[in-house]
Structure 1
Amino acid sequence: MSVLGSSSDVLFLMLGAVMVFAMHAGFAFLEVGTVRKKNQVNAFVKILTDWSVSTVVYFLVGFPIAYGINFLKPVKDLLGNTQGYDITHFFFLLCFAACIPAIISGGIAERAKFWPQVFAGAIFAGLTYPFFESMIWGQNTSLLQDLFKKIGGAEFHDYAGSVVVHSIGGWLALPAVLILGPRMGRYVSKKSHPIPISNIPFLALGSWILAVGWFGFNVMSAGHLEKISGIVAVNSLMAMVGGVLAALVASKNDPGFVHNGALAGLIAVCAGSDIMHPLAALATGAIASLIFVFGFHIEQEKLRIDDVLGVWPLHGVIGSWGGIAAGIFGNEALGGLGGVTFVSQCLGTVAAVAFALLNGFIVYGVLSKTVGIRLTPEDEFAGADLSIHQIGAYPEDHIR
């Protein structure tokens, strides 16, 4: 029975890992559908390269930092008495870590150099993210969680990463976007010139892939088959639907906002998906979607920040909302399971924002001053596909 239990847990995590791994195809298609044709190849290659580099650095450095477990040992020891649970757990949590560079990729699209961003992604997946992960979920929880409990009356609760993954990723992206500056032609003579997205079907495909994979992201965060919760699945569904419906109304049926509204809801519900009532999850997703619709406009038109996919409002701000929402709707007075406090949720959320901004400005500031992080005007005009990869998304168009 012990072997059967261990095997079930390994299978459970492996299936979850595969579902979250598939989400990276969603990240890719979401970006490809948003950027112009001349930058589509670059989007695909960036996401796959970042995934591959993240795998190596998280295996060697990141997971040991987060959980104190390393895999530089014989296979017999890797299997142990649990059918290799720890190494399967690494695979599952790698999919979370690799989301960080994938999130950032959407914000810096169309004008960032390739290799400096790969290097930055390696730092974030191998060092920055695992260190914060260790303080919330891993081996160093006493560094922050004890403080949150002392001040706020409970530990910071983030069941599936609204803050640990999405908020960190979005707030890391903001310094990169600011240091890079807007794309050529985006803002001219103090006037905004929006750049149309290239492919609605690709954007929609990316959203659908992400949405389906998200049920692995949230439900399998239980870690063990015996801890699986049906409420997590239903809350994820309700938050997604709330995001879609709110975006449908607020954006006046704009397809880009509708499909990103689904993601907004899913991002926001991650933190409290295990403790909210389904109707609270619906409200959480709807509010998140409104934050994105109006936040994207403020970011692009008022603040003049050229964040191509809107990853700062979508992941950064909405991820932060998700952490706070868990402290509101998770309370028993609102039908939640309890065990959380508004104060602790705010403290954890603010700590993540400060940590991400500090790391983002340091990494991208150093890279900008040394090797540079932006394409030359000539390369940007030609497009990242031809200037970096020497081939376009539609090679037959270049045949003479």
Structure 2
Amino acid sequence: MELLTINNVWMMICTALVFFMHLGFAFLEIGLTRQKNTLNILFKNIFIITTGLLLYALVGFNLMYPGFAEGSSGIFGFAGFGLSSPLTAEGALDLTYNEGYTYWTDFLFQGMFAATAATIVSGAVAERMKILPFMIFAVIYVGIVYPIAGSWKWGGGFLDQLATPFYDFAGSTLVHSVGGWAAVVAVCLLGARIGKFKKGEIQAIPGHNIPLATAGVLILWLGWFGFNGGSVLSADPGLTSLTLVTTCLSAAAGGVVAAIVSTIMYKNLDLTMFLNGILGGLVGITAGADQMSPTDAILIGAIAGAIIVFAVSLIDKLKLDDPVGAIAVHLICGIWGTLAVGIFGNLAGVDQFISQLIGVASYAVFCLATSFIIIYTLKKTMGIRVSEKEELEGLDVHEHGMDAYPDFRLNEH
């Protein structure tokens, strides 16, 4: 009983840290975009976490953990609507649910993860997507697509049933790539912001508050202590400590290498590249944080940091407009981190690497298909992009009727 209490308290602390990450996402997104769209981004972030929790309680949790029957395909299952209160015959709370935490803690911890996938898309479509279509997309993606995808591994589905099970400790693929694939589809269907690409040349559109973006990244790094540390699913001192060490070392290596590579390539000390390198290192280590040595973690983070610089450049050359670097950070580094499980650490080997490839491919097909169906349908029925006038004058005024900074408004175009 005492061990359960200790484990459960740690899990609740981690849940709070993951919740805090949503503030980090909000700060990062508004910092890297223009002030005339600040309220719009904040509204989307608040909508995602509130609606996401309600949807996860109503359908998501039981879609993600359906209790696949033995011999089932492990692709789709549903344990029913709503949360069931696990009680003993005497009517008391049943504490035999799991040796690491209670049913309620499990729901809340996993619910915090669910909203993150849609938040990734929010940053990629910033400054030009209508608010209502985004809200509809977020409801479907968080409520249905993410939990079904999650069930394939964390719910005991077909990827967990492979001869060499696919491995994703805390969600390089299950969370970050699921959001990243949808971000690719959304950016392609939306098109670039006005002024981003002129006569074939890439134009920088600076964010309005880099200090706020920096605060957002540091908050996200802190939140990752819960994201990865909580994924141990207990307060096991050895494994939890190792996980936090590998997480931090990978983040640090990612930031340093991204800063060095971008300085060599562009001859300037780019803080935003430094920040995205940290996030790339965090995403990269997430799939195998509990399996890596400190040296492995540094190598994974360092490679992720280099990947970020080249990925951001590639995305620009492909004329894809991603204002906050969400695709490079969450999708490309998510794929790298997932494959790294088969290269580094305790699980390294050919069979594991093949399983990791199968997992990456499975999520790519499912997420690309579902997000395209959702967003393309919205585009053809109600439209997904604001008008040129609304985009130039800012979504805050046109979508929300107010300014984030009413006493300090610049004429941004």
Supply the distance in 2 between the matched residues of 1:387 and 1:71 (Cα, whole angstroms): 37
Whole-angstrom CA distance in 2 between matches of 1:351 and 1:215: 28
2:374 matches 1:374:
no
Alpha-carbon separation, structure 2, partners of 1:6 and 1:340: 35
Q: Does 1:18 align with 2:28?
A: no
In 1, Cα distance between the equivalents of 2:154 and 2:293? 23
Shift of 1:247: 1.2
Structure 1 pair 136–78 and aligned structure 2 pair: CA distance change class (3 A): farther
Determine if contact 2:86/2:103 at 8 Å carries over to the other structure: no
Counterpart position of 2:70: none
More displaced stretch, 249-258 vs 61-70: 61-70
Q: Are 1:314 and 2:329 an aligned pair?
A: yes
The answer on whether the counterparts of 1:264 and 1:292 sit within 8 Å (CA) in structure 2 is yes
1:80 and 2:97 correspond: no
Match of 2:359 among 336, 348, 351: 348
Inter-CA distance 244–343: structure 2 relative to 1 (3 Å threshold): same
Alignment deviations for residues 337-393 of structure 1 (CA, whole Å, 9 cap, x no partner):
x89711111111121122211111111111111111111111111111111111112
1:274-289 aligned within 5 A:
274-289=290-305
Q: Give the conservation status (yes or no) of the 8 Å contact 2:154–2:160.
A: no
Deviation at 1:189, TM superposition (A): 2.7
1:205 to 2:208 alignment: no
- Unaligned 5+ segments in structure 2 are 67-78, 264-268
| Structure 2 counterparts to residues 39-188 of structure 1, below 5 A | 39-68=37-66, 71-73=82-84, 79-81=93-95, 85-139=102-156, 141=157, 143-146=158-161, 148-149=162-163, 154-188=164-198
**Structure 1 letter corresponding to 2:207:** I
Q: TM-score, normalised by structure 2?
A: 0.89
Paired AA for residue 15 in structure 2: A
Once the two structures are superposed, residues 45-84 of structure 1 have per-residue CA deviations (whole angstroms, 9 ceiling, x without a partner) of: 1101111111111111110111136644458579323598
Deviation (angstroms), 1:293: 0.9
Structure 1 counterpart of 2:274, from 258, 261, 275: 258
Taking only the aligned residue pairs, the percentage that are identical comes to 37
Q: Secondary structure at the match of 2:256?
A: helix
Amino acid at match of 1:272: G
Q: Distance in 2 between matches of 1:278 and 1:320?
A: 20
Letter in structure 2 aligned against 1:28 = A
The two structures have a TM-score, normalised by structure 1, of: 0.91
Amino acid of the structure 1 residue aligned with 2:364: V
Which stretches of structure 1, 4 residues or longer, exceed 4 Å deviation after superposition?
69-78
Indicate the SS of the match to 1:373. coil
**Which has more helix, going by share of residues?**
1
2:341 counterpart SS class: helix
CA distance in 2, matches of 1:71, 1:181: 38
- Cα separation, 1, equivalents of 2:168 and 2:60: 19
Corresponding position of 2:6:
8
Secondary structure, aligned partner of 1:385: helix
